[in-house]
Structures are given as C-alpha cells and as structure tokens.
Amino acid sequence: MPNSTPPRIPRRTVLAGAAATAALATLAGCGSSDSSDGASGGTLTAGFDNEPVTLDPALSSAISSDRNVLNLFFDTLLRQRRDGTFEPALATQWTDTGTEITFELRQGVKFHDGTPFDADAVVLNLKRISDPATRSTKKAALASIREVKATGPRTVTVTLKAADPLLLTQLAHEPGMIASPTALAKGTEGFGRRPVGTGPFTLRQWRTKVQLTAERNKTYWAKTEEGDALPLLDKVVLRFVTEAKVLRAELSTGGVQLVRALPPEEYKQLADAPRITIKDEGVRRNYYASLNVTKGPFRDPQVRAAFAMAVERRSVGKAAAGGDFDIAPSFATSDDWFYDDALAPLPYDPEKARATLDKAGLRGKIPITLVARRRAPDPTVAELLQSQLTAVGFAPKVEILEFQTQLERMRKQDFDAAILVVDIPRLDPSLTFDPYFASDGPSNWSGLKDSTLDALLDKGLSTDDRAVRKRAYVDVQRRILENNYWVFLHQAKSPLIQSSNLKGVGLDVDGQWRLERARLGS
C-alpha cells in the first residue's frame, strides 16, 4: 500500500482506557500469532549468525540484530506493533503531554532474580543509559530526556528538553529495556554475560561461539488471550553458526528450526524442501553505491548523474539476489509510510550517461575506485557495476576489502564509490536516513554537507504528525535522488525461514524476533 497513510502514532493520547486486561490480551501479538493448535512446550533451536558481544542492552552495539536475543530476557515499558502504534508492556498506561510522559507501571512483576519491578528500577535504568560514565551506546537515543523521576511506587515521570517524536519508539526497544537493579548493582562488567530482566526467558548458559540456552521464565507476567502462561516454549537454544551453507544444512537436517538470515543462493535451495517455510515478512537488504562528493570525479553532480544513468539495477538484482528483489527509489520499501512511488531515480540510459560525461568535459576513460566487501554477493554487485560503468566511459577499479578495512576507507573518504548494504526497515525513517545523510551522521560516507538536506532531516524529527513527517522524508529522498549522492540498487528479500511446525514467531517493526508466543506443533 504505497500511498496509504497509516494511523498517526497516538502519542498525545491519554491511554487511560488501556486496562491491564486488554494489555494482557494484546501483548506480544506483534507478529503472526495464531494460538489454537499445537502443543506448547518443547525446545526451539535457532541458527544465529551474528552473536552479540554483550547482552547488556545499554551497551549493545549491533544496529538491531542483538534485539533478537535481548527480547528473550528483557521487557520494555511499552511495545511497538509492526504498524508503528504502541501497546502496553511493563507500563500499563501512559500519558504524554509532549514534554512530559507519565508511565503507570504494571504490578506484581518480578525480575528473574526475584527483585520486584518498580518505579525505582525504571528510573535507575533510564538514568544509567544517560549517565556518561556508563558509556552507553544508546545515550543519544535518550538525549531528549531532561529528568526521570519516580513520582510514586508505580509511577514514573519523564520530563523532556523538547518534544521528541522518536522517544516512545526508542523506549520500546533497547534503550527502554529494564534490567534488574540488584544484578546491575553487582557491577556491570559481568552483566553483559548474565543478563537479568523481566523477559519471557531466563539465561541458562551462554557458551561463546557455540550456543546460548534460555529457559522459560515460569513467573512471566504476560498470558495468552486464553489465559495460558507465556512463554509457550520450554527452552530456546540459539546456535551461533556463521557459515550460510552450514546453516542451510542444519535447517535441512532439522538441527535448527529457525534462522536469522540466509543469502538468496542458500534459501532458494530450500524452496522445495519439505517441512520448511520461507515467508516474505517485508525485510529487505538494500544495496547501495555511495558516491564520494568530497573529492574526485563525483564532486561534479553531472558525473554522479552519469553514474546513476549507467547502472541497470534490475540486472544487478537478478545476478546478486537470484531474482528475489524489489526495485525502490531509496531505503523506503513499498510498505513504509514514508514511501512515495512518485519518486524515481534517473532511468537507465547509457547513451545519455556517456553524453553527460562528455558535457562535463570528461572524455576518455575516467578512473574511479569502487570499494566493496569481501562477502557474497557484494563482489558480484561490484563487478556488474564495473562492467556497466565501463560501458559509458568510466574506468572503474574494484577493490574487494575485508569489512573493517572497507569501513575505515569509507570513513576516511578514501574511495570514489562504495558498495554496501543496509537492512531495512529500521524502527523509524530518521534512524534510516540520519546516520547516512546528515552532515554530522556517523555513516555519512559520501561526506555530505548539504544544509537543505540537514534541514529536511531536522524537520522529520520536529513533530510527531505523521503527515508532516512523511512530507519531510519524501523531500529527503527527493533531495538525495536529485543530487545522486547515492545510487540505490536492488532491495534483496530477506525472508523468515523456519520449520513448518514452528508457529507464532512474532516480529518487531524491523523484523527482529519475539519468541514468547512461538511454539512447536506436531
């Protein structure tokens, strides 16, 4: 539904009516959840290719994949449904005046170590993130908070420096995960290896590079609609397997029943496999070429336009994603509320690309350096671009680099065009666009200093009115496309791959797992 406008985030609504019963009934139903058939219990073994460095949500550094694991052990005050709206979790209701949010907390909840969950625990956790001494990787997410106070044993009031349309989203994910104060008091050094929250599972054992075992939290507070205890599984085992071929073999032999991600060349081989379901849940891997505007030929907008017109994105998608891809104008997918199909990059036109280079006064072979990551299918993408660019008059040199080396080259702007991938959607368009396109963005590979773009990005964060925000982000995308700062390539599908007997895997907005309602049927 590209052009539909989903309901506005109910931020300023007083959620007084959100009674605890409703909360219990709707909780965690963010994904596909049917709960009528199948036996509960059992052990789910999942293959996971990106082992977290720490399970302390305040220090987690992966952009989102750690949350698959953190969701097992931690709850947040509220949760975000896949349509972007919020529902109660550890807070049963909240009021939001724009600069002050008051949370009413759930009663009778206990952390895994028996510590009662209360307002002081929430205050301690939120202050811990903001405290510079914590060195939290989530500090910026809560930067708009001026003060957090326990205004009652079960009431927390958060006062803001200025309205922040993103704050509830942030509080519904890692920055809002509440850890046990007793466990934190024992020192944060070990906490990352022994997380203690209120979540549906408790940590049994974490053996680095092998597996992590989580067991059912027998006193978990949430119930199913029928009043049955959650979680449904007895145990979750995450096996840390990094080789895609081995992950596929494990899925085929039943060694794992769920995998985090598989590249197309692997999951396509499972298409006819019995007992394996491959379902597109809207998660995409968006390949892009970022053009360095600080030096070299791509300082000239005409040369960037020539690059954009030289690239035939469909053939790149066909070769690199086995045909399982979408073409979209930017990071937005057609399901996103900030998608606009009126936006269009320059069409593939090698003749015009050549003419544009001529017009720019660049004749003969124009040497450029393309950097790409040494991991399939990135080198394929780079080689295809190389041949397409050569055809219009560029002389691209492709450098295939190890990831850290590539990032260092990109951060130092030591490249002409950089090929990489971003997992989309993210929780909010600001989290997708700001890091890459704001002048002070940490991943501003292109080296942009575009005050118009900065102003548009700021506008996107200035209000929670979704119509205004949509306009801002459509303008952001238009600005990027008009200037050809980046050339967005294909969006490879990254489906949910699981055993057919596994039901009820819930998903966050950005496709990370919630397993409290998961169960293994017969």
Binding site for other proteins (CB under 8 A): 53-54, 60-63, 135, 137, 140, 189, 192-193, 207-211, 239-243, 245-246, 249-250, 252-253, 255, 402-405, 407-409, 411, 435, 442-443
Sequence-distant (≥ 6) Cβ neighbours of residue 190 within 8 angstroms: none
Which SS3 state, helix, strand or coil, does residue 192 take? coil
Nearer to other proteins, 373 or 503 (CB): 373
Cα–Cα distance, 404 to 347 (Å, whole number): 33
The nearer residue to other proteins, 68 or 92, going by C-beta atoms, is 68
Smallest gap, in angstroms, from Cβ of residue 274 to other proteins? 14
Cβ closer to other proteins: 392 or 422? 422
Smallest distance from other proteins to CB 485, Å: 18
Least separation in angstroms between residue 60's CB and other proteins is 8
Intra-chain end-to-end CA distance of the chain, in Å: 35
The residue among 327, 331, 292 whose CA lies nearest residue 430 is 331
- Least separation in angstroms between residue 408's CB and other proteins is 5
Least Å distance between CB 210 and other proteins?
Answer: 5
List CB contacts of 3: < 8 A, sequence separation 6 or more.
340, 341
In contact, 483 and 6? CB cutoff 8 Å: no
Rounded Cα–Cα distance for residues 309 and 487 (Å) = 9
| CB of 200 vs other proteins, minimal distance in Å | 25
Identify which of residues 94 and 436 has a Cβ nearer to other proteins in the complex.
436
Buried b (16+ CB within 10 A) or exposed e, 259-270: bbbbbbebbbeb
- Residue number with CB closer to other proteins (48 or 298): 48
By beta-carbon proximity to other proteins, the closer residue of 62 and 400 is 62
- Using the minimum distance from each CB to other proteins, give the nearer residue, 1 or 403: 403
Please state the closest distance from residue 443 (CB atom) to other proteins, in A.
6
How many Cα neighbours within 13 Å face the side chain of 300?
Answer: 14
Residue spans of alpha helices (H) in 438-509 = 451-460, 466-483
Considering the complex, what minimum distance in angstroms separates the CB of residue 444 from other proteins?
A: 11
Q: Tokens 């008051």 correspond to what residue? A: 102
Report the half-sphere exposure of 491 (CA within 13 A, side-chain side): 18
Strand partners for 493: 284
The number of helix segments (H) and strand segments (E) in the chain equals 16, 23
Those residues with Cβ within 8 angstroms of residue 297's Cβ, 6 or more apart along the chain or in another chain:
303, 362, 366, 368, 416
**Between 283 and 410, CB nearer to other proteins:** 410
